[in-house]
Homo-oligomer: A and B are copies of this chain.
């Protein structure tokens, strides 16, 4: 199996699709652009969801569920929102064997339906804040799709909060950005850059969009999560006012924030190699797989031992035992390497005699022999080491491919390279410069940093710089 994977250097895009399909994470559906998330792919999402959901709840958020179907005219209530989302809407025109009086759109995001409900629920400052999240599917009609990274339907979470003051809504926006950053780094082992989006790149309907961006092994950036300060835009569109403590009416302040199944694509493209997936232990479907090695005469004793081993380890770890009789150990090694399982536990007849096993790390191939007694503690520390190693390797890659060119020519050369990476460059803050660079290099401003830019000049226009921007090619 593993030998039929396209090499990463030969064709990164094919390599990626090969991994997704052959490791059975996802498959194409009969409807163009839609994806089937198979059990091994969904297990990744379940582990992400558990980790994030715990963080959301720890910070006072509650889950709810709003309808998939939204009256078409709702989308039009916020001017920028409708411009941004109209081209991507899927529309239900018939239902129950009749033509509908008003067409319904499938949610591309839920600000409009949620703020139509907040209008019913918010009257007084006592009703605030509202801190709601939902886990849901959304539909955006995309012309060019790619498994996990950009699909017509995807799974995500979307938080929608309502506050008394501008300050509180901005604090919430930044708090959630921080949660995404920590989650990416600690759970997914993805080092990220975080900062503000430009006017051009922000969410349709937001005042400010903040994002975490992660660099993939082909040197392109992927937006891994966004957190939006919505100001009073949706409150005004849906006329949501509250009576403050001085009995005055004010519009409500808002944030929204989300991450999606595209994170699975980011994890694959960051950590994996030509043998297959490399998965962070925190989210891998199994933390370790046990593979028995035996000849006919040792079969009984080895199989008994691995079954004992599995029942012992599964009290504390997510463990699989591959004791199928139809394949040789070598084939199984390749198969579980393709699947990205962090640790392989090999056990043969000599190991049984010596009361030990061999542990093999998926990421660097390191082997170590450990006794039965020390197995649990050693496996536990090994998984933590692998998690750290993946993060550090990705961080080194990100640093190696972060550039501070001093001329625009140097900048374009870097962006035309095989691994374009991140370009940190002073920018004059104009749309014209941003668009010109995008046309000439296909790179966009991924985020704008707070870095001081006094006395520096825009790399492109030579005018005084307003911001330090991070340019990259992106998915």
The chain A residues found within 8 Å of chain B, CB to CB, are 27, 29-31, 34-39, 41-43, 45-46, 62-71, 74, 86-97, 103-104, 106, 113, 116-117, 120-121, 126, 132, 136-137, 139, 141, 143, 152-153, 155, 326
Contacts and interface: CB of A to CB of B under 8 A. Distances in A.
B31 A70 contact: yes
Nearest to A106: B92
A117 B36 contact: yes
B104 A95 contact: no
A440 to B, nearest CB: 29
A57 to B, nearest CB: 10
A137 B30 CA distance: 19
B27 A67 contact: no
Contact of A65 (B36, B67, B90): B36
B34 A62 contact: no
Contacts of A68: 34, 68, 106, 137, 139, 153
Contacts of A37: 64-66
Given A90-B92, A93-B94, A96-B141, A43 B62 contact: yes
Oligomeric state, in copies: 2
Contacts of A155: 65
Nearest to A61: B39
22 contacts: A27-B120, A29-B117, A30-B113, A31-B70, A34-B67, A36-B66, A36-B67, A37-B66, A42-B62, A42-B64, A45-B65, A69-B90, A69-B139, A69-B153, A90-B92, A90-B104, A91-B93, A91-B95, A93-B94, A95-B141, A96-B141, A136-B137
Enumerate the 8 nearest inter-chain pairs by beta-carbon distance, A residue then B residue, closest first: A96-B141, A39-B62, A90-B95, A34-B67, A37-B65, A91-B94, A95-B141, A93-B93
Contact of A31 (B69, B89, B90, B137): B69
A317 to B, nearest CB: 15
A326 B113 CA distance: 31
A96 B143 contact: yes
Where chain A touches its partner, the secondary structure class is mixed
A175 to B, nearest CB: 19
A115 to B, nearest CB: 11
Contacts of A141: 95-96
Given A63-B39, A67-B36, A86 B95 contact: no
Contacts of A66: 29, 36-37
Nearest to A69: B31
Contacts of A97: 86-87, 89
A311 to B, nearest CB: 14
Given A29-B113, A69-B139, 8 more contacts: A30-B74, A36-B65, A37-B66, A68-B139, A69-B152, A87-B96, A89-B97, A91-B92
Contacts of A70: 30-31
Contacts of A103: 94
A30 B64 contact: no
A365 B111 CA distance: 42
Interface centre among A90, A117, A120 (most CB of B within 10 A): A90
A89 B95 contact: yes
A463 to B, nearest CB: 38
Given A31-B69, A89-B95, A92-B91, A132 B39 contact: yes
A40 to B, nearest CB: 8
A172 to B, nearest CB: 17
A64 B39 contact: yes
Nearest to A88: B96
Contacts of A137: 68, 136-137
Contacts of A120: 27
Contacts of A121: 27
Contacts of A117: 27, 29, 36
